[in-house]
Structure 1
Amino acid sequence: MSRSESGSIRSVLVVDDSIFMRRMISDMIERFPGYRVVATAADGEEALRLIERHDPDLVTLDIEMPRLDGFGVLKRVMGSRPRPCVVLSAYTATGSEAALRALELGAVEFVAKPSGPISFDVAKVEGHLFEALEAAAAADLDALLEERRGEITRPVALAVEGEESVVVIAASTGGPRALSFLLGTLPASLEAAVLVVQHMPAGFTATLAARLDGVSKLPVTEATGGETVVANHVWLAPGNFHMRLRRFEREVRIVLDQREPLRGTRPAADALFPTAAALYGKRCIGVVLTGMGRDGADGLAAIRAASGRTIVQDEATSVVFGMPGRAIAQGAAEQVVPLDRVPEAIVECLSAIAERGRDTTT
């Protein structure tokens, strides 16, 4: 469960080897309502000592530090005294790899910080840092750290020719681990295209796509725009771009744009889901996984209104129940299931769609 109660002052330990960054991050956090910095640390060893002394509710953590780096801190903390950690990672290819590894080790969220010379541009991350701390404060660490393995042995019923289906998925906080399990469990012969919106900055989604491709039986790529949507392939929306679907004659293609963020989010599932509902109707399956906020709820309602199928992750297995909870509250969820059951629920829906298609052609 989350360590701090709603409405209380949450204590934060700031860990960074740069004194400038420690001061900058601390000043930001002190301006946030409901947060206070109880201590700062210049390296991982000092961080562990201060965690023992102050027992902070939250930790912000740099990766590259002397003596003990952020990965070492995460392993020690999550193995003995778990608490929500937010990682600050450089806005580089190396930084994106580090951020995703940190999420795998148990960090709740990450914030991309500017790379290169120390600059007051660091202040631009303030909004993202506040959102990350809010997500971390709401996180269920039991759900985050639970190891899951799954396998689907039942075949997916073959779709009727010309009756392609699509699966659209939304995720935010806790999403990379949930997606790793989900895509790693779905069968190679899914008989549907899969499109994923994971809230993540530009420059990080390509790395996530590569990591997911390594665990998935289906090929996973970051969308670049213009791709023809075909079965048995997964596309991940790139950071800072909305992903939508559009019909071009007999083909459905992926279209990217940089229209206004939806409720502060780009990419947003609420940009993708309605276009999938309009094009695929009853052959569309919408899935909302763990995440902060309300993205995906309106889009899932559009899918259900178009006679599509909708699946929402339950509270017990969600790291943050914001997005799933909102979808349920709006009446958009046909099924509410634990993460372990989501892959099987998708396969069951696809098989039912295929069987129904056969019945209408005979």
Structure 2
Amino acid sequence: MDSYKVVVVDDSAFMRKIITDLIETDSVFQVVGTAVNGCEAIQKITELKPDIVTMDVEMPEMNGLEALRAVMDVYPIPVIMLSGINESGMRETILALESGAFDFIRKPSASNSQDIIQVKEILLEKMHSAMQAKQRRTAWRVEEVRKKNEVVEKTTFRTNSEPVVFIARSEKTPEVKAPTRKIPQIEVPKPKHNRLNEPVKKMTKPVKPEQVIKRVVAPLPELIKVTPSAKQEEGSWQHLIAIGCSTGGPRALKELLERIPEDIPAPIIIVQHMPPKFTKSLAQRLNSFSAIEVVEAEHGMILQKGYAYIAPGGFHMTVRRSSSGVCKISISGEEARNGHRPSVDTMFESLLPLHNIERHVVLLTGMGSDGARTMKKLYDSGVIDTYAESEETCIVYGMPRSAVELKCVTHILPLKEIPNKIVRMLK
């Protein structure tokens, strides 16, 4: 087979050499060009038309994020970002994933040969996944076009001068059910912490000042009944949403969380496959546009409705019920599970004993099958509200597909429809 063409972008000549050598240890890939900054990268990509690009995040003149956005506009292809572990690099990496980057890896340490070997394995794995995902999405689009052309063939005849329309359907192709109406979008949430947002009633006759004061003051005792301590009491929420994702996850989480209303009556726990330190930047970014509060989870946190908790990179996150009945987060550094830490399977498994809570379990875009087997266990134990992102919106249709194949998914939906469905199920 022909090799895939690669362009390597990095401002360091030494790092360009290392990355090129790592890539070309696999005969499937051939580095056809390099660039020293974003401006040159755009020029090389336009000229050479590579199949995939590795892009340094921090570069002079035009950085990787700016170059990525330009590339996505003119020649959208899989781009893998190479990020440093400083705060600026992590923040830019999260923005790059939102802007269309396929995935990212941590830049290797040039002085550590073991680290270079480890980075090589991760880089090549992600590059292969990017090519497989691209081929699969192309094949899926072709199949969808074929189905549309084969399923519905309209022939118009005239009988007694009246038009009659017949729909011929191929026996080989199953009927494709399309939604009969659009699902309404959730109303834009009110600003956080704004509890005095009642509409002003038009007065029909003059009133005395003391009457106005009474009207304003009367509702206040109702508004201040909910306190932080009240939220932590057992039974203050009866629903729990658990989400697992990997490649493409940051962009998917942004799409999902920005559609979750502030008053959602459930905590949300999330495992996104990421290395240490990056999840803090991810949580801060997601919190900046979400109506709910999004935080990086810490050991011992009490789950509260209206909060989303993201597992810290490099650690497993589980839910434990205390002796007093309160659900708390547990963070541990136990061995990786199926190569993942945090692991979606580990998080989902901790939900099995929580029989008195309505659990809503979601798998979004991602490589591999993490989370699918334990979703099956939850489904078999009586959890009936399970979700998988459909292939049409997945960056990588791996984790959701594994769950679908295990026949434990009750809702297979495009990404934008998942939050609306969850909210309706909670009601």
* TM bin (shorter chain): 0.7 to 0.9
Distance 1:142 1:134 in 2: 12
Correspondence 1:70-149 to 2 at 5 A: 70-114=64-108, 120=113, 121-139=115-133
Counterpart position of 2:39: 45
Q: Is the 8 A contact 2:388 2:400 kept in 1?
A: yes
Distance 1:168 1:179 in 2: 12
Distance 2:246 2:318 in 1: 18
Q: 1:198 aligns with which of 247, 267, 272?
A: 272
Q: 1:14 aligns with which of 1, 8, 15?
A: 8
Number of corresponding residues:
334
Correspondence 1:114-263 to 2 at 5 A: 114=108, 120=113, 121-139=115-133, 151-153=185-187, 161=235, 164-249=238-323, 250-263=325-338
Which residue identity does 1:341 align to in structure 2?
E
Tell me, what secondary structure is at the counterpart of 1:11? strand
Counterpart position of 2:23: 29
Q: Is the 8 A contact 2:240 2:357 kept in 1?
A: no
Counterpart position of 1:56: 50
- Give the stretch that moved more between structures: 301-310 or 38-47: 38-47
- Give the CA RMSD over aligned residues: 2.4
Q: Is the 8 A contact 1:282 1:307 kept in 2?
A: no
Deviant stretches of 4+, over 6 Å:
none
Counterpart position of 1:344: 420
Q: 1:300 aligns with which of 365, 375, 399?
A: 375
Distance 1:275 1:161 in 2: 19
Post-superposition CA distance 1:150-190 (Å, at most 9, x none): 841499xxxx9566211000111111111011111111111
Higher RCO structure (Cα 8 Å, ≥6 apart): 1
Question: Are the structure 2 counterparts of residues 141 and 177 from structure 1 closer, same or farther at C-alpha, using a change threshold of 3 Å?
Answer: farther
Counterpart position of 2:387: 311
Question: Are the structure 2 counterparts of residues 154 and 21 from structure 1 closer, same or farther at C-alpha, using a change threshold of 3 Å?
Answer: closer
Question: Are the structure 2 counterparts of residues 185 and 283 from structure 1 closer, same or farther at C-alpha, using a change threshold of 3 Å?
Answer: same
Which residue identity does 2:326 align to in structure 1?
E
How far does residue 139 in structure 1 lie from its aligned partner after superposition? 3.9
How far does residue 243 in structure 1 lie from its aligned partner after superposition? 0.5
Which runs of 5 or more residues in structure 2 are unaligned?
Answer: 138-183, 190-233
**Higher Cα radius of gyration:** 2
How far does residue 38 in structure 1 lie from its aligned partner after superposition? 1.7
Distance 1:260 1:178 in 2: 27
TM-score by length of 2: 0.73
Q: Is the 8 A contact 1:164 1:231 kept in 2?
A: no
